[in-house]
Protein backbone atom coordinates (compact mmCIF):
# COMPACT_ATOMS: atom_id res chain seq x y z
CA UNK A 1 0.00 0.00 0.00
CA UNK A 2 1.33 3.43 -0.93
CA UNK A 3 1.34 5.90 2.00
CA UNK A 4 -0.94 8.90 1.68
CA UNK A 5 0.81 11.99 0.38
CA UNK A 6 -0.10 15.50 1.50
CA UNK A 7 1.07 16.93 -1.82
CA UNK A 8 -1.95 18.28 -3.73
CA UNK A 9 -2.82 16.46 -6.93
CA UNK A 10 -1.89 18.28 -10.16
CA UNK A 11 -5.55 19.11 -10.83
CA UNK A 12 -6.10 20.43 -7.29
CA UNK A 13 -6.94 24.14 -7.42
CA UNK A 14 -6.24 24.89 -3.75
CA UNK A 15 -4.35 28.09 -3.07
CA UNK A 16 -2.78 26.86 0.18
CA UNK A 17 -2.08 23.44 1.71
CA UNK A 18 -4.67 22.21 4.21
CA UNK A 19 -3.98 20.44 7.46
CA UNK A 20 -6.20 18.02 9.36
CA UNK A 21 -8.35 19.90 11.86
CA UNK A 22 -11.23 18.01 13.51
CA UNK A 23 -13.72 19.97 15.59
CA UNK A 24 -17.49 20.07 16.10
CA UNK A 25 -18.94 22.89 14.01
CA UNK A 26 -22.16 24.51 12.90
CA UNK A 27 -22.91 25.12 9.23
CA UNK A 28 -25.10 28.16 8.61
CA UNK A 29 -26.77 27.72 5.24
CA UNK A 30 -28.33 31.09 5.81
CA UNK A 31 -28.79 33.02 9.02
CA UNK A 32 -31.87 30.96 9.95
CA UNK A 33 -30.78 27.40 9.08
CA UNK A 34 -28.06 25.90 11.27
CA UNK A 35 -26.85 22.33 10.67
CA UNK A 36 -24.49 20.35 12.94
CA UNK A 37 -21.19 19.63 11.19
CA UNK A 38 -17.58 18.65 11.83
CA UNK A 39 -14.45 20.27 10.44
CA UNK A 40 -12.06 17.95 8.60
CA UNK A 41 -9.25 20.18 7.38
CA UNK A 42 -8.36 23.86 7.14
CA UNK A 43 -6.03 26.35 5.43
CA UNK A 44 -5.86 30.12 5.08
CA UNK A 45 -7.85 29.78 1.85
CA UNK A 46 -10.34 27.01 2.60
CA UNK A 47 -11.99 24.56 4.96
CA UNK A 48 -13.57 21.15 4.52
CA UNK A 49 -16.43 19.96 6.71
CA UNK A 50 -18.70 16.96 7.01
CA UNK A 51 -22.47 17.46 7.37
CA UNK A 52 -25.75 15.68 6.72
CA UNK A 53 -26.79 18.12 4.00
CA UNK A 54 -25.93 18.41 0.32
CA UNK A 55 -25.18 21.92 -0.96
CA UNK A 56 -24.97 23.20 -4.53
CA UNK A 57 -21.56 24.33 -5.76
CA UNK A 58 -21.15 28.13 -5.46
CA UNK A 59 -23.52 28.36 -2.45
CA UNK A 60 -22.34 30.89 0.13
CA UNK A 61 -22.41 29.63 3.74
CA UNK A 62 -20.78 30.22 7.12
CA UNK A 63 -18.96 27.64 9.24
CA UNK A 64 -18.57 28.29 12.97
CA UNK A 65 -16.35 26.33 15.36
CA UNK A 66 -14.23 26.71 18.47
CA UNK A 67 -10.71 27.55 17.31
CA UNK A 68 -9.19 27.56 20.79
CA UNK A 69 -6.47 25.23 22.01
CA UNK A 70 -7.11 26.32 25.60
CA UNK A 71 -10.08 26.14 27.94
CA UNK A 72 -11.23 29.60 26.86
CA UNK A 73 -13.62 29.37 23.88
CA UNK A 74 -12.64 31.17 20.69
CA UNK A 75 -15.61 31.00 18.31
CA UNK A 76 -14.51 31.52 14.74
CA UNK A 77 -16.96 32.16 11.88
CA UNK A 78 -15.65 31.63 8.36
CA UNK A 79 -17.70 32.56 5.31
CA UNK A 80 -17.07 30.60 2.15
CA UNK A 81 -18.22 29.47 -1.26
CA UNK A 82 -18.93 25.77 -1.80
CA UNK A 83 -16.22 24.43 -4.12
CA UNK A 84 -17.43 20.83 -3.97
CA UNK A 85 -19.93 18.63 -2.15
CA UNK A 86 -19.61 14.84 -2.35
CA UNK A 87 -21.39 12.00 -0.62
CA UNK A 88 -19.10 10.39 1.95
CA UNK A 89 -21.21 7.31 2.65
CA UNK A 90 -23.07 6.98 5.93
CA UNK A 91 -21.01 9.87 7.33
CA UNK A 92 -22.94 12.39 5.23
CA UNK A 93 -21.45 14.86 2.78
CA UNK A 94 -17.93 16.20 2.54
CA UNK A 95 -18.15 19.89 1.67
CA UNK A 96 -15.16 21.98 0.62
CA UNK A 97 -15.29 25.75 0.93
CA UNK A 98 -13.13 28.46 -0.57
CA UNK A 99 -13.00 31.14 2.10
CA UNK A 100 -14.28 34.61 1.26
CA UNK A 101 -13.15 37.91 2.73
CA UNK A 102 -11.08 36.52 5.59
CA UNK A 103 -10.61 39.50 7.91
CA UNK A 104 -7.14 40.03 9.46
CA UNK A 105 -8.15 38.69 12.91
CA UNK A 106 -9.76 35.55 11.47
CA UNK A 107 -6.70 35.01 9.25
CA UNK A 108 -4.47 35.33 12.32
CA UNK A 109 -6.54 32.69 14.15
CA UNK A 110 -6.44 30.31 11.17
CA UNK A 111 -2.67 30.79 10.86
CA UNK A 112 -2.37 30.03 14.59
CA UNK A 113 -4.35 26.80 14.09
CA UNK A 114 -1.99 25.82 11.27
CA UNK A 115 1.04 26.56 13.46
CA UNK A 116 -0.39 24.50 16.34
CA UNK A 117 -1.00 21.56 14.00
CA UNK A 118 2.67 21.35 12.96
CA UNK A 119 4.33 19.27 15.66
pLDDT per position as a tens digit, 61-109: 999 999 887 788 889 999 999 999 999 999 899 999 999 988 899 999 8
Does residue 27 sit within a domain?
A: yes
Does residue 12 sit within a domain?
A: no
Nearby residues of 35 by Cβ (< 8 Å), 6 or more positions away: 26, 27, 28, 29, 51, 52, 53
The count of domains in the chain is 1
Does residue 4 sit within a domain?
A: no
Q: What is the band of 15 on the pLDDT scale with cuts at 50, 70, 90?
A: low
Does residue 113 sit within a domain?
A: yes
Domain of 39?
19-117
Contact 6, 16 (CB under 8 A): no
pTM: 0.82
Does residue 76 sit within a domain?
A: yes
Which DSSP category does 57 fall into? T
Does residue 39 sit within a domain?
A: yes
- What CATH number is associated with residue 45? 2.40.10.220
Does residue 71 sit within a domain?
A: yes
Q: What is the band of 6 on the pLDDT scale with cuts at 50, 70, 90?
A: very low
Does residue 46 sit within a domain?
A: yes
Amino acid sequence: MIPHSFTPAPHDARKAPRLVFRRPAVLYIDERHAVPARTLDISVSGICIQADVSLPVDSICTVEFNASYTRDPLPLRLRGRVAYCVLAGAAGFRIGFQLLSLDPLAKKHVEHILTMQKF
